[in-house]
Structure 1
Amino acid sequence: MGKIITLSTIWKLIISVLICQLVGIVSGLLSVTQNNIWYESIAKPSWNPPGYIFGPVWTVLYLLMGISLWIIWKSNVYEPMKYEALLFFGSQLFLNFLWTILFFRFHSLSIAFIDIVLMFVLIFLTIFRFVEISKTAAWLLVPYISWVCFAAILNYNLWKLNN
């Protein structure tokens, strides 16, 4: 008989956090966001945060997202319910990955804005799916959706200022 391999809770936590952190790292590497001459040269609103803020903020947000993902993954709920919640999470995470590339690599402020609006909707839906399983997991996504809301407003203003 074959052995069924199950991951321990700690491994699920490590994998969940790594998945989220890797999204940020890989999209950043694909977009070359450090010392981005294009971004430095475009017009920005007066309330645009300094560049050094983004890295630490996203690192913390990806950590919170990973912990939230872990809480759902390790939960003992009806599998279709868990699968649906994880599908929403994965979909918004994909749009998160795509946004950095659209914005920084392709300099497409308009398509990046569409992407971030869709991302906001999917995060919102993810929170509602997560709250059915774990209120803690849902609340851990509130700083993320708040930052994405701010980023969407910033993205829109950058698009309009540089249109």
Structure 2
Amino acid sequence: MASKGLLELLTGPAATNAAGLLGSAAVVFGVQQLVPSFDPSWYKSLKKPSWTPPNYVFPMVWIPLKIMQSVALWLVCTKAPTAGALAMPLATFGAHMFLGNWWNVVFFGRRQLKGSLPWMYTFWASIAATSAAFHPVSHAAAYLMLPTQVWVTIAAKLNYDFVKLNT
């Protein structure tokens, strides 16, 4: 009897849910790994607004946000009534992932402060669109995107201030 319970645990709905959640996290965290790392000395040389958070704050904020995004993606994938109902949520989520990474390439990689602003604003809009697309499928998933929206609002203002101070 005990082995049957263990087998159910390893192959039943809980295992499927865990695998789905891990898959969602792999997508969210993995996509970020596609962005090359950049020389940090350039960023250190920039004039920064007085309210710029210390560097250690960024991973402390982004890691929980990425976890929330992973859960949101998993919720949408598990709650969608049909595969067709996933089209818009997944498209907007994919756009949001692409635009966040592309902003990093433009800002840090190409060092185009002014050129990064339109990408930042588009990234911000893609998060709002993702939350809106998630909402009909899972209210919780939509709400899990909102902290990212708040943080990217702060990041957009910071990006704008960097442009004003350095161009």
TM-score (norm 1): 0.88
Quick one: distance in 2 between partners of 1:129 and 1:76?
Answer: 11
Residue of structure 1 equivalent to 2:75: 71
Quick one: distance in 1 between partners of 2:102 and 2:141?
Answer: 24
Quick one: distance in 2 between partners of 1:39 and 1:156?
Answer: 15
CA contact (8 A) 1:95 1:119 kept: yes
Ranges in structure 1 where 5+ consecutive residues have no aligned partner = 1-6
RMSD over equivalenced CA pairs, Å: 1.5
Residue of structure 2 equivalent to 1:160: 164
Q: CA deviation at 1:79?
A: 2.7
Please give the per-residue CA displacement for 1:99-147, whole angstroms capped at 9, x wherever unaligned. Answer: 1111111111122211110011111111111111111001110110110
2:56 aligned partner, one-letter code: Y
1:51 aligned partner, one-letter code: N
Residue of structure 2 equivalent to 1:141: 145
- 5 Å-filtered alignment, 1:55-70, equals 55-70=59-74
1:148 aligned partner, one-letter code: V
Residue of structure 1 equivalent to 2:29: 21
Please give the per-residue CA displacement for 1:27-85, whole angstroms capped at 9, x wherever unaligned. Answer: 2xx1326xx11110111100000011111211111111011000001114233222111
CA contact (8 A) 1:31 1:100 kept: no
1:154 aligned partner, one-letter code: L
The alignment partner of 1:43 has SS state of coil
Largest Rg, 1 or 2: 2
Pairs aligned (count)? 153
The alignment partner of 1:32 has SS state of coil
Quick one: distance in 1 between partners of 2:65 and 2:33?
Answer: 13
The alignment partner of 2:56 has SS state of helix
Quick one: distance in 1 between partners of 2:54 and 2:68?
Answer: 22
Residue of structure 2 equivalent to 1:3: none
Structure 1 segments (4+ residues) deviating >4 Å: none
Residue of structure 1 equivalent to 2:38: 32
